[in-house]
Amino acid sequence: MATPPENQTSGWRQANTSQSLSEAHASIPVHDNKPAWRRFLAYVGPGALVAVGYMDPGNWATNLAGGSKFAFALLSVILISNLMAILLQTLSLRLGIATGRDLAQACRDHYPKPVAVVLWLLAEIAIAATDLAELIGAAVALNLLFGLPLMWGLVITAFDVILLLALQNKGFRWLEAFVITLMVTIFVCFGIEMLLAQPAWSQVLKGYIPTREILSNPEMLYISIGILGATVMPHNLYLHSSLVQTRAFKRTEQGKKQAIKFATLDTVISLMLALLVNSAMLILAASVFFKSGRTEVVEITQVYELLSPMLGTALASTLFGVALLACGQNATITGTLSGQIVMEGFLNFKIKPWIRRLITRLIAVTPAIIVTYLYGAKGVTDLLVLSQVILSLQLSFAVFPLLVFTSDRKKMGVFVSPLWLKVLGWTAGFVIAALNIYLLLVTFGVVKSVV
């Protein structure tokens, strides 16, 4: 049976009166009397659910553009962005384990109600935008693999909520296992792509070392900002602070300390796998398109159509499409789960999970279907870009509350971020905010280029 929520009021405006994801709260045993490796395995899962957000269809375009235009040079940007992601996700899990609150609940218990409501609305918009990008990505994959019209692809993808409910009814571990299976599928697909593309590995390794050209070349800098600015998905910060509470660790100082240690290890491993996948996208584009002078190839559809003839096997395009479908499917699952966490956390208002997920899905699929009907594939691409702009707008409204809470000793107690973690966290927060502001200024034509 799940343990009751802590009514800790120290440092908070009001007590925590609800459990995050109450149907799964503290439902997974952690085997305190088992060897360390068995205890760690009990904590494996949340990191994978978070990692899928870092390789969702919204990230593919920047990775592919970076590789086709500038070879391996922007691998260093992918590495830096991934380190930022690990940092902020680690802060998110610390908040959830130390306070017994997810990020949405923490905002509700810290800010005045009008502020909390505004933050909730912004979070809902961001989740709808995330869901939109993932719906479009999965629909495009179905179109490429099976020739299914985009409209039908959107409709089919929209009802994956049924799969999510079926898995969660079997237990949260089943949901995690499904997501991990799809992650492994993505990893295998890109692994085979690497074997087919045969990149120059010495040049690949050099790509992880930052160069001055990234700052001096305006176009390279712009793509770099695109990669960095879209690094942390707002919904992932809410999601992670909730998922770590599904483990039945002892709600004592020692129990929380162990939970933070193993959850952090789970996060680092999962996000390093995401780093490999994102790197593989860029390496594939560099090895196939940049090498042959096709630097204009940046769109997912172009890549799919050209991979097979340029690599000499139909398998190349098929694997690319399967990986895209798995990414889109995975990300839609975590996006709808985030919607439940955000609504329940901010408003302390519970409705049946299937209703909440249906609402989230309808909010995302409606504009996608309308735009597809009116403007076709070109409109869907524009909508994908718009969804990333919306995410850029909302991101700081999740990052900075997280930094405030985890830097507050009254709220975090002995688990407050040490000075070095505060410095790194706030630096990353301001860097990401500045990059997203720049992207927005460019998108709306206020700024044309970087000098």
Residue 275 lies in a domain: yes
- For the segment 423-427, the average pLDDT, to the nearest whole number, is 95
Q: Are 110 and 26 in contact (CB under 8 A)?
A: no
Q: What is the pLDDT of residues 16-46, one digit of tens each?
A: 878 888 888 989 999 888 898 999 999 999 9
Residue 381 lies in a domain: yes
- Band of residue 370 on the pLDDT scale cut at 50, 70, 90: confident
Percent over 70 (pLDDT), the chain: 89
Phi then psi for residue 418, to 5 deg, are -65, 165
Tell me what pLDDT residue 377 has.
Answer: 63
Residue 26 lies in a domain: no
Q: Which is nearest to 52 in space by CA: 111, 138, 163, 125? A: 138
In this structure, what CATH number is given to the domain that contains residue 87? 1.20.1740.10
Identify the top-confidence range among 145-149, 357-361, 382-386: 145-149
CA atoms of 20 and 204, how far apart (whole Å): 42
pTM: 0.90
Dihedral Cα 328, 331, 336, 342, nearest 10 deg: -150
Element (H or E) spanning 386, and its range?
Answer: helix 353-406
Tell me what pLDDT residue 161 has.
Answer: 62
Q: Quick check: 111 pLDDT over 60?
A: yes
Q: Quick check: 227 pLDDT over 60?
A: yes
Residue 121 Cα distances to 12, 343, 346, 351, 396, angstroms: 22, 9, 9, 17, 14
- Band of residue 375 on the pLDDT scale cut at 50, 70, 90: low
Residue 419 lies in a domain: yes
- For the segment 85-107, the average pLDDT, to the nearest whole number, is 96
Residue 427 lies in a domain: yes
Q: What is the pLDDT of residues 394-403, one digit of tens each?
A: 888 999 999 9
- Band of residue 7 on the pLDDT scale cut at 50, 70, 90: very low
Q: Between these two residues, 448 and 249, which has the higher pLDDT value?
A: 249
Q: What is the pLDDT of residues 74-93, one digit of tens each?
A: 999 999 989 999 999 999 99
**23-36 residues labelled b (16+ CB within 10 A) or e (exposed):** ebbbbbebeeeeee
Q: Are 69 and 252 in contact (CB under 8 A)?
A: no
Q: What is the pLDDT of residues 251-288, one digit of tens each?
A: 999 999 999 999 999 999 999 999 999 999 999 999 99
- For the segment 436-442, the average pLDDT, to the nearest whole number, is 76
- For the segment 89-115, the average pLDDT, to the nearest whole number, is 95
Dihedral Cα 262, 130, 440, 290, nearest 10 deg: 80
Number of domains in the chain: 1
Q: Which is nearest to 7 in space by CA: 140, 109, 97? A: 109
CA atoms of 195 and 102, how far apart (whole Å): 42
- Band of residue 412 on the pLDDT scale cut at 50, 70, 90: very high
- Band of residue 203 on the pLDDT scale cut at 50, 70, 90: very high
**Secondary structure percentages of the chain, helix, strand, coil, to 5:** 80, 0, 20
Q: What residue numbers bound the domain in which 391 lies?
A: 36-443
Q: How crowded is the C-beta side of 345, counted as CA atoms within 13 Å?
A: 31
Q: Are 283 and 67 in contact (CB under 8 A)?
A: yes
Tell me what pLDDT residue 159 has.
Answer: 72
Tell me what pLDDT residue 3 has.
Answer: 47
Q: Quick check: 229 pLDDT over 60?
A: yes
Q: What is the 8-class DSSP label of residue 28?
A: B
Q: Quick check: 364 pLDDT over 50?
A: yes
- Paired tokens of 14: 């009001």
Mean pLDDT of the chain: 85
Residue 31 lies in a domain: no
- For the segment 217-228, the average pLDDT, to the nearest whole number, is 80
Q: Quick check: 139 pLDDT over 80?
A: yes
Beta bridge partners of 247: 28
Residue 2 lies in a domain: no
Residue 172 lies in a domain: yes
Tell me what pLDDT residue 337 has.
Answer: 84
Tell me what pLDDT residue 385 has.
Answer: 65
Q: How buried is 377 (Cβ within 10 angstroms: 0-12 exposed, 13-18 middle, 19+ buried)?
A: middle
Identify the top-confidence range among 77-81, 165-169, 290-294, 358-362: 77-81
Identify the top-confidence range among 3-12, 38-47, 338-347, 429-438: 38-47
